[in-house]
Amino acid sequence: MLFDLTDLRLFILIAELNSLTRSAERMNLSLAATSNRIKELESRFGTRLLYRESKGVQLTPAGHTLLHHAQLFMQQVEHLKSDMQQYNNGIKGYIRIFANTTAVTEFMPEILGKFLAIHPQVNVALEERLNHDILRGIQEGTADIGIVAGPVQGEGLQILNFSTDRLVLATALEHPLAGAGSIPFLDTLEYEHIGLHEGSTLHHFLNKIVSEHGQRLKLRIQVRSFEAMCRMIETNVGIGIVPRSAAQRHQQTMQLAVVELSDPWSVRERSMVFQNIDTLSPHARNLVDFIREQMSQGTDDDKVVLLNTEKAEKTEGTEKKSAARQKKTA
């Protein structure tokens, strides 16, 4: 073998400290042993890994390449240790998911709640990331499943479309745009917007569109959730672009108007991304199948709209029947 774990830990430490002496002390090795390990690595790879200077050491281009792979390798070792430790605690599965804002805040909590109730011996880590960070996490193996919206280009990755995400404009009932049947996004830029926080996928996506047209998004305030956005929008502080599922859900408790966006990009495919679906753990593969099943049963935003509409119609019908009974009694 070209190296062992001690070699990799030592090399990563040398890169951080830029010193063989301090790295040797941290690893409880002698300076001679540390130097010999580095020389042995250089001999086995057939190239110099460090520049030895009076002020310490610096990585060569080959050293930077080794550092990159060493860090990935040690991350996988830590994941392995974590996954195996789960067995000691009665947990037999661990799934890492990187997802966009809508997935994290809108539909994944409900889906994961149902899934974990069925699979009590599985733990899940769900992290909100930007699309490009999600793809990189899957490529580097730091996440098992990625959930993104919109066009996806990930070299060497497998992509599975599972539902549709539709963006709409939410306004206060008294806002000038509230009565519009459909409107281009650019026509909303003259008004002040309520937006999500800087690290959100939606904020990044909208800013990119605005920049491509040489314009600027007038952000009045940025918040952490779609619920907070809708509360601000309800008070007419500004307008906002939100998933239609979020707008419909909050319309049930807030005074909001929902306006369709005429832009083609407002309808986006939701996709799950993997390195290779066939090499996922059985628990991760079960979750993939569960997500597809749940979304096909009506948790995507188009079906949420339908369900909410049916619920409203049933409520209205019940109220009419109650009023008729009261009138008859009177």
Query: 92 near 122, Cβ under 8 Å?
Result: yes
Structural domain that includes position 80: 5-84
Is 324 inside a domain boundary?
no
Is 323 inside a domain boundary?
no
What is the structure's pLDDT at 298?
58
Q: Examine the domain organization and report whether 239 and 301 are in the same domain.
A: no
83 three-class SS: helix
What is the structure's pLDDT at 188?
97
Domain final residue, candidates 214, 244, 268: 268
Is 282 inside a domain boundary?
yes
CATH number for the domain spanning 279: value is 3.40.190.10
- Which residue numbers in the chain have pLDDT < 50? 299-330
Q: Examine the domain organization and report whether 76 and 109 are in the same domain.
A: no
What is the structure's pLDDT at 131?
87
Q: How far is CA 206 from the centre of its chain?
A: 16
Q: Examine the domain organization and report whether 63 and 184 are in the same domain.
A: no
Q: Examine the domain organization and report whether 157 and 302 are in the same domain.
A: yes
**pTM of the predicted model, to two decimals?**
0.62
* Spatial separation of the C-alpha atoms in residues 194 and 132, rounded to whole Å: 24
What is the structure's pLDDT at 80?
77
Q: Examine the domain organization and report whether 114 and 182 are in the same domain.
A: no
Q: Examine the domain organization and report whether 78 and 192 are in the same domain.
A: no
What is the structure's pLDDT at 154?
77
Q: If we measure between CA atoms, which residue out of 137, 63, 38, 150 comes closest to residue 103?
A: 150
For the chain, what's the residue count?
Answer: 330
The pairing of beta strand 93-99 with beta strand 122-128: parallel
Q: Examine the domain organization and report whether 149 and 285 are in the same domain.
A: yes
Q: Examine the domain organization and report whether 113 and 196 are in the same domain.
A: no
CA-CA-CA-CA torsion sign (15, 16, 21, 24): negative
Query: 259 near 251, Cβ under 8 Å?
Result: no
Q: Examine the domain organization and report whether 141 and 259 are in the same domain.
A: no
* Token code pair at residue 203: 């904020």
